[in-house]
Amino acid sequence: MRIDRIELRHTKMILVTPFVTSMGTEYDEQHIMVRVDAEGVTGWGECVAEETPFYSYETVPTAWHILNDFLIPAVLGKNISCVDEAIASYAKVRGHMMAKAGLEAALYDAFAKSKGISLSKMLGGTQDKINVGVSLGISDTVPDLLHVMEKYMKEGYQRIKIKIAPDRDLQFIEALRTEYPEMLLQVDANSAYTLDHLPVFKKMDEYHLSLIEQPLGYDDIFDHAKLQREIKTDLCLDESIHSLGDTRAAIEMKSCRIINIKPGRVGGYTESIKIHDYCASMNIPVWHGGMLESGIGRAGNVALASLPNFTLPCDLSPNRKYYTEDIVETLFELNPDGTITVPTGPGIGVEVNLKALEKYTVRKCEHKVKK
């Protein structure tokens, strides 16, 4: 397939509710939408680099630079027979996983559409519905959290994840457990703790949490192994995992017993599948994390999460949990059994709403092959 044109759009979408984590508060989400046109087919991808370098070192401007100056020139005008060939053409770019994943996603969508198959099928998906949960930011008070919880429990979510930070942890966990003794409950610290907090983690052990996500350093694998040895609750790594190599190190060192897969963090679907397959071979369950994606990235995530070892509920809520107006025509809904249905149409299976996309575009640029 000849890559004829690539367009980037820096978007800014307002969140339904501000998202509070140990890293700060997000009121809106800025990402980059990638459009690839190839022989009459259009593919879409979302680069999940954010405005700030707080979750990852990548930001919208760094991804914009890497995409425009290195990744796009490597594939534009080329006749590419598969996505792996495109990946090989920019493999010498080190890091910048989110920039790579945004372009890779658009290429995957274009290839799946050119073959007339769904992205889920192309990636090797086997599930037609995905178990999903909801990820809640840190609340000001316990009554505030219980109020928000009631709404989401009524909607039928299978599990709840709450963000935590030192001194904003046990009181919320304790209150939720008292109110909902059986609910699947997990917590995400986004690297806000150190090994000195061991007594706090020992207390968390009493609330049968499904997992504790990334409690220690954002690039740590070693200390997590020390912590995992000391507590019963399964640890899960998010920030520390950027590749299959990181995953192997974490599993072999017993730093965690569960892996959160986000294609943006690991450079795309190809690397995600390698991690997924390795974890399956090691009996390590995986689940799909989220980056507050628009409907474009969300649809790709749902396709990836349809692979067989995504057995734990994913951070993939319906569009309206995040945005009042999304940039796609087709919105995900929560089924009564707390699942989301995997699209079966070609590629990501959702149509982009070009008018809405234009409305939320802050800047755009295009690269075109001269005819």
Residue whose CB is less far from ligand OSB, 290 or 349: 290
Measured distance between the N- and C-terminal CA atoms of the chain, rounded to whole angstroms: 16
Q: Does 215 bind ligand OSB (CB under 6 A)?
A: no
Q: How far is the CB of 369 from ligand OSB (least distance, A)?
A: 35
Residue whose CB is less far from ligand OSB, 118 or 317: 317
DSSP for residue 339: E
Q: Does 326 bind ligand OSB (CB under 6 A)?
A: no
Q: Does 188 bind ligand OSB (CB under 6 A)?
A: yes
Q: How far is the CB of 90 from ligand OSB (least distance, A)?
A: 25
Distance of CA 290 to the CA centre of its chain: 3
Report 44-63 residues binding ligand OSB (CB under 6 A).
Answer: 55
Q: Does 289 bind ligand OSB (CB under 6 A)?
A: yes
Residue 314: phi and psi, rounded to 5, are -100, 160
By CB atoms closer than 10 A (0-12, 13-18, 19+), residue 242 is: middle
Q: Does 238 bind Mg ion (CB under 5 A)?
A: yes
Catalytic residues: 163, 262
Which of 131, 270, 317, 339 contacts ligand OSB by CB under 6 A?
317
What whole-number distance in Å separates Cα of residue 28 and Cα of residue 11?
10
Report 185-214 residues binding Mg ion (CB under 5 A).
Answer: 188, 213
Give which of ligand OSB, Mg ion, none residue 22 binds (C-beta under 5 to 8 Å, depending on kind): none
Longest dimension (CA), the chain: 66
What whole-number distance in Å separates Cα of residue 242 and Cα of residue 89?
19
Half-sphere exposure of 153 (CA within 13 A, CB side): 14
| β-pair partners for 24 | 21
Residues found near ligand OSB in the complex (CB under 6 A): 55, 135, 188, 190, 238, 289-292, 315, 317
Residues found near Mg ion in the complex (CB under 5 A): 188, 213, 238
